[in-house]
Amino acid sequence: MKTTVTLLCENTAGIPLGIVGEHGFSALIERGEESILFDTGQGIGLLPNAAFLGKDLSRVKKVILSHGHYDHTRGLAMLIEKTPTLTVFGHPDIFRERFAVMEDARGQRHVLPVGLPYTRKDLESKGATFDLSPDFREVAPGLFASGEIPRPEGWKGGDSRLVVWDGDRYQPDPFRDDLSLVLQTEKGPVILLGCAHAGLVLIIRHLRRQTGFTRFHAILGGTHLGAADKAEWEEARNLLQECQVENVATSHCTGFQANCFLASRLGERVVPASAGTSFEF
């Protein structure tokens, strides 16, 4: 069965007229009669981009959230208005309060909320149903959610600005809810990433263990390598080569320099992944 993945929300607009770019991510997965949404962006481009591309979001009955950041979840409320019987899949931590510690141009420190901007009760009152689990599982035929990614002792996230409140102080966000997908397709297994906060290498290794797949046809989405050091870039490149990945469609939080590094090492296997781009497998 043919699988189509269309990026509805991404930082850049891949089509010059009619597509809106935004800092966020959302991918529509279509296979047969089923339409599944992976993340919802921050609510700027989801509906207009879907309309421009001729994608009927009222057909979406399942949405999977990669993690609880606003730029992946704020579009959820407007999606529920289009399809009020929506089932939302994710990790139990998606509703955890989250913050970013930022400095302005004058060097002043600000703590900004960056979590999922709705309560579970509010979304359920609109008709949504939640199916939350930390486990690796099949959420649709041939579509698997990674569940919680195991971390080695001493693991630290790549972006120190992202924190949670633990009762008396801010602590680095552990991102237990960071979730990725594996799709079985006619061309081979495909990994779909939200932000890869758990680390691209850890995610790929976890998915190899869980699925038994040794190679992947494609990897799409945000890799968060922009916040990692160059040693992690090299490790990721080596693993992508080991997995014989034919297409690496980096987007969103990958970072310009990290994307250039991958393109310089992997050549034509690195392909654009802007809003409006579709991939067929």
52-63 CB burial, b ≥16 within 10 A, e <16: bbebebeebebb
Residue 158: is its pLDDT beyond 80?
no
What local confidence, expressed as pLDDT, does residue 114 receive?
97
Q: What is the pLDDT of residue 221?
A: 96
Q: What integer pLDDT is reported at residue 273 of this predicted model?
A: 94
Work out the pLDDT band at 84, boundaries 50, 70, 90.
confident
Does this model's pTM top 0.85? yes
Q: For 38-78, how does the pLDDT look when each residue is reduced to its tens digit (9 = 90+)?
A: 999 999 999 999 999 999 999 999 999 999 999 999 999 99
Does residue 104 have a pLDDT over 90? no
Domains of the chain (ranges; CATH) run 3-147+159-280 (3.60.15.10)
Whether 216 shows a pLDDT value over 90: the answer reads yes
Rounded percentage of the chain residues whose pLDDT exceeds 70:
100
Percent of the chain scored above 90 by pLDDT? 85
Amino acid letter at 66?
A: S
Query: Buried b vs exposed e over 3-34: b needs ≥16 C-beta within 10 Å?
Result: bebbbbbbbbbbeeeebbbbebbbbbbbbeee
- When pLDDT is cut at 50, 70 and 90, the band that residue 108 belongs to is confident
First to last CA, the chain: 9
Chain mean position to CA 48: 20
Q: Quick one: tokens of 131? A: 């199916």
Task: Identify each DSSP E strand in the chain by its residue range.
Answer: 3-9, 26-31, 34-38, 60-64, 87-90, 99-103, 109-113, 129-132, 137-140, 143-145, 162-165, 170-172, 181-183, 190-193, 218-222, 247-251, 278-280
On whether the CB atoms of residues 91 and 117 are closer than 8 A, the answer is: no
Note the pLDDT tens digit of each residue in 192-211. 999 999 999 999 999 999 99
pLDDT band at 15 (very low <50, low <70, confident <90, very high): confident
pLDDT at residue 228, rounded to an integer = 83
Confidence band for 168, pLDDT divided at 50, 70 and 90 = confident
Supply φ then ψ for residue 228, to 5 degrees: -100, 170
Q: In the predicted model, is pLDDT for residue 28 greater than 90?
A: yes
Distances in whole angstroms, Cα of residue 110 to Cα of each of 104, 106, 116, 134, 163:
8, 11, 19, 32, 12
Mean pLDDT, the chain, integer: 94
Check whether 16 has a pLDDT greater than 90.
no
Cβ atoms 36, 140 nearer than 8 A: yes
Please indicate whether residue 16 or residue 148 has the higher confidence score (pLDDT): 148
